[in-house]
Structure formats: C-alpha cells, structure tokens
Amino acid sequence: DVHYPNNDLVYHFHHTHDDFIYNVDNFHYPNDDLSEEYGCPCTGNTTRSQNCAKVVNGSIICAPQPAYSDPPSDTGSCCPSGGVWSAWSSWVGCQGTCGDCGTSTRNRTCLSQSNGCACTGSTTDSMSCQVVGVWSSWTVASACNSTCGACGIMVYNRTCQTADCACVGDTTRTEPCALTPCTYPNQSCCDGSSAAVYNGMILCAQPPAYVDPNQPTACQDCCPQGGVWSDWSQVNECSDTCGSCAQVQFTRTCLSEDAGCACS
C-alpha cells in the first residue's frame, strides 16, 4: 500500500509480472465518513479499479490491458489438410494400338493413411501418348578386342520388347574401345587416329582435316557440297493437341538445282 497524505488517498498495488507490470486494484478516501458527519454525504462509488502498464522513469503509466481469451480447445485431430502424398511415380508404358494415340499412367500413395489421415485427390494420373515399340537397354554383346590405340571395337545389342508393335532403329551398334595410346613398339593409334588431349587425358582421336588457306582448291564444276537448300516451310497444321499423336509436314526446295548443282 502507498499512502498519499496530501489528498488522503490510499493506493493498493500488487506486482503481477517481472517486467514491472502493475495493477491498481482500488483507491478510496479513508476519511469519507467525515463528509457525512458534517452533513454533506458523498455520492458515487468509494472504490474504482484502473489498470497500469509499467513503471517509466519512476512514474506508473496507466493503459488498458489486452482482453483475455481462452486458448483454442483441442479438436482432437492432428491431420494435415489434404493429407500427405508421396511423389508421383514415373510414367508407365503407353497402352493402345501400335502407331495410334494411347494412354500412359503414373501413381502415388497416401503416406498419412496409416495414421488415420485421409488424403484428398486421386492416386492415379494419366496423359495421352503415341504407342510405339519399346527397346530394351543396350547390353554388351562382345568385349573389346584390343587394349590400346583405339584399335578395338565394342559391340552392343538391344531387343524390341513389344511383340505387337515393331521398334524403329538398329538392334546393334559398335563403338571404338581401348582409347589409350599404345606404347612403343606398338603403333600409337589405329585407324588414322592420333593422340590428343581430352579433359586432361591423352586419348586416340580422329584428327581434323587440315586445309591450307594459301592453297587454292581445285574446282571441277564449282557446285557447293550438298547443294543449296531453302529453309523448311510448314505444309499442314497439327491435327492434335497432346500426346505426340499427330504429325506436321515440312518441305524445302533445292535452290541450286537450276544451276546444275544437285542437293543431297
């Protein structure tokens, strides 16, 4: 309690927080019965409550306190909105008639289902696609038949996995192997290749053709190699909107043909 003798007020304070927030509970005149004794009784309340925020420079600064609200009640459900989905799988196949437009699908699973939290949405997605033959991965048919100089050949095979839809392309391909240059007395590189530095490694590679800029080139008919083609121009509009199920045709003309230079 704090007494102020000049105005006979008594303030009752109590500390509510460590950051010096106070509440002024009430104040009253201790000698208010004197007025009644002298024939002038007081009217109104003898007690009034007022809130104070904190002490600033030794003075109590009063301000309204924030309204109290109950914390939200526990609803009993901790499920995230919409549930928790896995990532979509890769697109699987293309079902339909060979050469026509088909359908490819992909899937996902609801990861939160086992915890009682259902997911919203579909577990399956689909898109249009063109039904074509499907190749297997390339496999080694024969090991490299050399050890250096890029003199060997590696053979790879693949098979068409769709019996009802033919695959487009070759079933076999070859690549040079044993690319490291040979050491003396063997030939350094085979098949016209030469030692070259590639990504910090010395490998056998086909050297670029050298052209002497000062040596004139013999010209028999002066036709440019391959002739001269015009730019491609579109013939028709696409007849579909998705799935690579339609074809657009382009055409070009040989501009050098009239001069006797065929195009290839």
CB atoms within 10 A of CB 168: 8
Cα–Cα distance for residue pair 175/191, rounded to 1 Å: 13
Residues in CB range of 163: below 8 A, 6 or more apart: none
The confidence band for 122, taking pLDDT boundaries of 50, 70 and 90, is very high
| pTM above threshold 0.85 | no
Give the Cβ contact number of residue 245 at 10 Å: 18
Indicate whether 249 pLDDT > 70.
yes
Enumerate the β-bridge partners of residue 162. Answer: none
Is the pLDDT higher at 58 or at 162?
162
229: CB partners within 8 A, 6+ apart: 252, 253, 254, 255, 263
Tell me, what amino acid is at 233? S
- Is the pLDDT at 130 greater than 80? The verdict is yes
pLDDT digits (tens, 9 = 90+) for 12-67: 444 444 444 444 444 444 445 555 555 556 666 666 555 555 666 666 666 555 56
- At 50 the pLDDT is 52
pLDDT band at 137 (very low <50, low <70, confident <90, very high): very high
Tokens of 87: 């990532």
